Amino acid sequence: MFELGPALSHLFQVMRSFATSHGVSPVLAILISKIIQTNIIILLVSLVPMLLVYAERKVSAFMQARLGPMNVGPWGIFQTLADGIKLMFKEDVVPSGADWWVHFMAPVVAVAPVFVCYAPVPFGQGLTPVDLNTGVLFILSVSGISTIGILLGGWGSGNKYSMLGGLRAAAQLVSFEIPRVLSVVPVLMWYGSMSLRTIALAQQGRWFNIIPKWFIFYPVIGQVAFIVFLISSVAETNRTPFDIPEAESELVAGFHTEFGGMKFALFFLAEYAYVFLASAMATALFLGGGDGFLLPNGIIPSWIWFLLKTFAIVFLFLWFRWTYPRLRVDRLMQFCWKFLMPWSFVNIALAGALVLVRMR
Amino acid sequence: MNSTTVPKTAAEVFPQKPPEKGMFISLGPQHPSTHGVLRVAITVDGENVTSAQPDIGYLHRATEKLAEKRTYPQIIVLTDRLDYLAAMTNNWSFCLAVEKMLGVQIPERAEYIRIIVGELQRIASHCVFLGTYGIDIGAFTPFLVAFGRERERILDLFEEICGARLTYNYIRIGGVMADTPVGWEKKVRDFVKEMWGHITEYDTLLTYNPIFMDRTKNIGTMTPEMAIAWGVTGPNLRATGFRADVRKDDPYGLYSKMKFDIPIGKQGDCWERYWVRISEMRESLKMIEQCLDMIQPGEWMAKLPKVYRVPVGEGYGHLEAPRGDLGFYIVSDGSPSPYRMHIRAPSFINLQALQQLIVGWKVADVIAILGSVDIVLGEVDR
């Protein structure tokens, strides 16, 4: 019953009016409240990876007949926190063959775009940090900057394995960006908007009072778009079965072989933040955002629905990782260019036909 | 090149023809996928391998020389340390050689126990192969399932009969160390019953996974001619389609009484080498079941004097170890310790074929091929 969005906006309203009544200029009050909101988002983005790392450990453990972390806190819930603290206090080692400046910049460039990318995500009713009217485009383009960070990491380490990993990463990420963008195009065509919030809101409603009007339930185009988006998102986040850039058995650890301590942690944070971001995008684009199903509206607030769906997709990511082997690098490219790309184009054509039918 | 120095650069490894173009990569000795301290010096042209040279000797312990200063029963301890994933068959192979020279008759119960532990050992060893091969290909879960669950059960069974989990020293000259504990046979039977289901699970998890098949099918093919020319034995040879198994060709123990098939492949690619091992696990289960049906209470050790001298002469005992034809060649001068002992280690000989097997494939395939040959460095370097 508790919608977080209106409550938060009301809270900020009260705080702003309190500040202005005590002699703070309204512009400054708005600025300060925006800074507080930004910090909440940054905190959230930093905390989500910790949660996901814990989830990954537990999920993988249960898939592998193990228990996972059990000692730090009840059921090991503080294990990630302990690891984070450990990584923070570790010595920062820069190999002698490395380019210091590039080596230093790589994790920063990799992680910085993630925080920005969370801006247009509609976490629920009234919980869109910034409702950009080009939200989808914004996320897809800004998240592409992280590729440069990975390339820098491979280049600046002065290590052959890192170099190979970085080059593979660049080739893979640039290639999979294309089907990923193309898979989203049908959604944009259908709803006529690039704002994630508008798209999520447009998916409310029911067919025959039972099937939600989510994009994934649109015949053929919805499913194909969702599957292509999911596959290319897994590839974009460098996770198994597409973890070629960090293929452990071939390239030791790929582009982050020579990174330790906090620099490694930043790469790690970027990966998990992108996993969550991709899941959140899939939720907003294909699964109706904060729209509930089965239960009547309002029993469970929209932000909880949104998080539930997002974590369901995150679970898919984890599931893939712990059951599939790794593709070979040339097969990966073939898969991208000869399979995902053509089907995305077919899907766009189909979506175009459906849009025409709707216009009639 | 001086034979005593370890090659460091491409020019040292290939003195006649250093790579004109491409890159020299030293895969190992500290690399996640070399299964121990093996170094493969490969030159690549882009992603294609142009030459490969295995560099071994990091784990050399001079086992053959050490054996010359120990009495025969003491050498069994050394054999444990060869192929540390299949210590039972190492014990057995050495004992076969000595028993042949002594001409001692083994009690029937001991023979059955030997087959049971030998085949359990084969399953445990192939479980390790399956798990590590999964990791090589990028799937992590099969490792913890096969290595951490099923192999652990087998090690528990071994611990019950001999107290050790890795270096057993259980099969002795003339029989086995001790009779099985009460209820052990029932536990083995329960395990075998469960294991049938687990192997089906491996099939769904890894064997017929499309990505796994894509990575391993038609990769690293070996012809029977090539395999025989290099002296390759075991599952690697059978995967090429050549039916050779010491258990059938030169039956030792009571294997002539056992009913089992020899799984063979067609073209000897990575997937078939893997598949032959999976199928062998099923055959092993069949044999264990037969042994459990036929085993009778009785003596487990032949009557041998406390101190015995092996007659002057030479003897060779070999058997089908999980990795191939494992043989012990012993020359005796009548003293309590052998004059000379030579070990025909299958891993060592299978490894040699790598330099021809890897060339022409991609770097990612090198890992798949290296893993599929299934070497144990403890046996390669001895």
Q: pLDDT at position B361, please?
A: 85
Does residue B93 come out as left (phi exceeding 0), alpha (psi in the -120 to 50 range) or beta?
alpha
Binning pLDDT at 50, 70 and 90, where does residue B15 land?
Answer: very low
Q: pLDDT at position B11, please?
A: 53
Partner A contacted by B218 (CB < 8 A)? no
Q: pLDDT at position A252, please?
A: 67
Task: From chain B, pick out residues whose CB is under 8 angstroms from the CB of A60.
Answer: 140-141
Binning pLDDT at 50, 70 and 90, where does residue B177 land?
Answer: confident
CA of A63, closest CA in chain B: separation in Å? 7
CA of A65, closest CA in chain B: separation in Å? 7
Q: pLDDT at position B3, please?
A: 47
Domain segments of chain B as ranges: 1-45, 72-381
What is the value of ipTM here, to two decimals? 0.70
- According to DSSP, the residues that pair with A211 across neighbouring strands are A207
Other Cβ atoms within 10 Å of B46 Cβ, number: 11
What b/e string do you get for A325-354 counting C-beta neighbours within 10 Å, with b at 16 or more? bbbbbeebbebbeeebbebbeebbebbeeb
Determine the 3-state secondary structure of B98 from DSSP.
Answer: helix
Burial of A116 (0-12, 13-18, 19+ CB in 10 A): middle
Going from the C-alpha of A21 to that of each of A15, A16, A37, the distances in angstroms are 10, 8, 21
Task: From chain A, pick out residues whose CB is under 8 angstroms from the CB of B367.
Answer: 249-250
Packing angle, helices A135-143 and A261-286, rounded to 10: 150
Report the C-alpha gap between B68 and B215 in whole angstroms. Answer: 46
Find, in chain A, the residue whose alpha carbon is nearest to that of B139: A325
Does B47 sit within 8 Å of A330, measured CB to CB?
Answer: yes
Report the C-alpha gap between A166 and A100 in whole angstroms. Answer: 17
Q: What is the 3-state secondary structure (H, E, C) of B248-266?
A: HHCCCCCHHHCCCCCCCCC
Give B303-342 pLDDT, tens digit per residue: 887 777 888 888 898 888 898 889 999 998 888 888 988 9
- Stretch (H or E) spanning B176: strand B175-176
Give A228 or B44, the one with higher predicted confidence.
Answer: A228
Binning pLDDT at 50, 70 and 90, where does residue B276 land?
Answer: very high
B10: CB partners within 8 A, 6+ apart: B18, B19, B24, B41, B43
Task: From chain A, pick out residues whose CB is under 8 angstroms from the CB of B25.
Answer: 160
Residue to test with chain B: of A242, A250, A320, most B Cβ within 10 A: A250
Give A338 or B32, the one with higher predicted confidence.
Answer: A338
Task: From chain A, pick out residues whose CB is under 8 angstroms from the CB of B365.
Answer: 328
Residue to test with chain A: of B26, B48, B147, B367, most A Cβ within 10 A: B367
Residue to test with chain B: of A244, A249, A319, A329, most B Cβ within 10 A: A249
What b/e string do you get for B287-304 counting C-beta neighbours within 10 Å, with b at 16 or more? bbbbbeeebeeeebbbee
Contacts 24+ apart (CB under 8 A), A114-118: A114/A45, A114/A143, A114/A146, A114/A269, A114/A270, A114/A273, A114/A274, A114/A277, A115/A41, A115/A42, A115/A45, A115/A273, A116/A142, A117/A142, A117/A143, A117/A277, A118/A41, A118/A44, A118/A45, A118/A273, A118/A277, A118/A280
Report the C-alpha gap between B269 and B69 in whole angstroms. Answer: 43
Contacts 24+ apart (CB under 8 A), B4-13: B6/B55, B6/B57, B7/B41, B7/B53, B7/B55, B10/B41, B10/B43, B13/B41, B13/B53, B13/B55
* Alpha carbon B38 to its chain's center: 16
Does B206 sit within 8 Å of A65, measured CB to CB?
Answer: no
Partner A contacted by B46 (CB < 8 A)? no
Looking at residue B203, what DSSP letter applies? Answer: I
Number of helices and strands in chain A (H, E) = 14, 2
Binning pLDDT at 50, 70 and 90, where does residue B2 land?
Answer: very low
How high is the mean pLDDT in each 10-residue block of chain A (360 residues)? 74 83 82 85 84 88 84 84 86 81 87 86 78 86 86 82 81 86 88 85 78 81 88 84 68 75 85 89 85 71 84 89 81 86 90 86
A348: CB partners within 8 A, 6+ apart: A182, A185, A186, A189
Strands B313-321, B23-27: parallel, antiparallel or unpaired by DSSP?
unpaired
Burial of A150 (0-12, 13-18, 19+ CB in 10 A): buried
A–B interface: beta-carbon pairs under 8 A: 81
CA of B41, closest CA in chain A: separation in Å? 14
- Reference B263, options B242, B280, B246; nearest CA is B280
Task: From chain B, pick out residues whose CB is under 8 angstroms from the CB of A330.
Answer: 47, 362
Task: From chain A, pick out residues whose CB is under 8 angstroms from the CB of B214.
Answer: 327-328, 331
Does B367 sit within 8 Å of A249, measured CB to CB?
Answer: yes
Binning pLDDT at 50, 70 and 90, where does residue B33 land?
Answer: low
Does A60 sit within 8 Å of B138, measured CB to CB?
Answer: no
Give the highest mean pLDDT range of A114-118, A301-305, B20-24, B95-99: B95-99
Q: Does position B176 have pLDDT exceeding 80, yes or no?
A: yes
Report the C-alpha gap between B241 and B253 in whole angstroms. Answer: 26
Give B224-273 pLDDT, tens digit per residue: 888 888 889 889 999 988 888 888 888 888 888 888 888 888 888 889 99
Packing angle, helices A160-191 and A341-359, rounded to 10: 10
Does residue B374 come out as left (phi exceeding 0), alpha (psi in the -120 to 50 range) or beta?
left
Task: From chain B, pick out residues whose CB is under 8 angstroms from the CB of A57.
Answer: none
Q: pLDDT at position B17, please?
A: 53
What number is the average pLDDT over the span B119-135? 89
> Looking at A106-115, B29-38, B142-151, which range is the least confident one?
B29-38
State which amino acid sits at residue B68: E
CA of A319, closest CA in chain B: separation in Å? 11
B197: CB partners within 8 A, 6+ apart: none
Give the nearest partner residue to B367 out of A60, A240, A250, using CB atoms.
Answer: A250
Does A331 sit within 8 Å of B362, measured CB to CB?
Answer: no
Report the C-alpha gap between B73 and B80 in whole angstroms. Answer: 12
Does A249 sit within 8 Å of B33, measured CB to CB?
Answer: yes
Chain A residues near any Cβ of chain B (below 8 Å): 60, 63-66, 160, 240-241, 243, 247-250, 252, 322-331
Give the nearest partner residue to A66 out of B31, B32, B144, using CB atoms.
Answer: B144
Count the alpha carbons within 13 Å of A152 in the hemisphere toward its beta carbon: 20
Binning pLDDT at 50, 70 and 90, where does residue B52 land?
Answer: confident
- Stretch (H or E) spanning A116: helix A100-117
| Gyration radius from chain A CA atoms | 22
For tokens 């073209």, what's the residue?
B267
Report the C-alpha gap between B4 and A350 in whole angstroms. Answer: 69
Contact call for residues B154 and B351 (beta carbons, < 8 A): no
Contact call for residues B254 and B293 (beta carbons, < 8 A): no
Task: End-to-end CA distance of chain B: give it in Å, rounded.
Answer: 24
Q: pLDDT at position B34, please?
A: 64
Determine the 3-state secondary structure of A280 from DSSP.
Answer: helix
Tell me the CATH number for domain B72-381. Answer: 1.10.645.10
Q: pLDDT at position B329, please?
A: 92
